[in-house]
Amino acid sequence: MQHTLLIVPGLGDSTVGHWQDNWLQHFPNAKKVVQNNWNQPQLKDWLHNLDTTIKAIETPIVIVAHSLAVSLVMHWSQQNDTTKIAGALLVAPADVESSEHTPEEIWNFAPIPLEPLKYPSIVITSSNDPYISVERAEFLAKNWGSLFYNVGPKGHLNLASQLGLWEEGQKFLEILLQEIQESEQN
């Protein structure tokens, strides 16, 4: 079954050169959630745009969220019917509850929902991500029922990390697709 890869960027958008933007160009089945205000995000507005985008897609969806968008997806998943969501790749979650790790403009996305997801998911973090500790990322993954991977010291897995098409991330996407296929068979 064909999936739509739904690219969900975080604060500031995933612009040219970011692996999410590269995936958008690379995968013909990819679409992107567009927000009205990338730099002063409001949870209510971002949830509306995510929900509108999801409702407009007819095929099963594989979410590919980065940074702040991970919290966005978690909020959306707790408030909506998730039957259209086949799975989610949750990359470099930002700890919106930590004034030590994240900027004030994203604190309105706190608290991070901790309920288990109803679809397969993978959380990926870096050992030197400035916006979350490895321990916190692993704690979130456990609560959500997600597989968890630490890819080593690669920063926030963003434009500055210079990941190109992020082939390593594509391998995690393949693992997720395998998990989805197995869950659909059960």
* Secondary structure letter of residue 108 according to DSSP: G
Are residues 126 and 152 in contact, defined by beta-carbon separation less than 8 angstroms?
Answer: yes
Per-residue pLDDT at 82 exceeds 90 = yes
Distance CA 22, CA 14 (A): 9
Residue showing tokens 């393949």: 174
Structure tokens at 117: 């997801």
Cβ neighbours of residue 81 closer than 8 Å, sequence gap 6 or more: none
Question: What is the extent of the structural domain holding 127?
Answer: 4-185
pLDDT single digits (tens) 91-139: 999 999 998 888 899 999 999 999 999 999 999 999 999 999 999 999 9
Cβ neighbours of residue 84 closer than 8 Å, sequence gap 6 or more: 54, 57, 60, 61
Distance CA 156, CA 130 (A): 7
pTM of the model: 0.96
Are residues 71 and 132 in contact, defined by beta-carbon separation less than 8 angstroms?
Answer: no
pLDDT single digits (tens) 156-176: 999 999 999 999 999 999 999
Closest CA to 92 of 77, 102, 104: 102
pLDDT single digits (tens) 62-77: 999 999 999 999 999 9
* Domains in the chain, number: 1
Which residue type occupies 168? E
| CATH label of the domain that carries residue 159 | 3.40.50.1820
Q: What is the CA radius of gyration of the chain?
A: 15
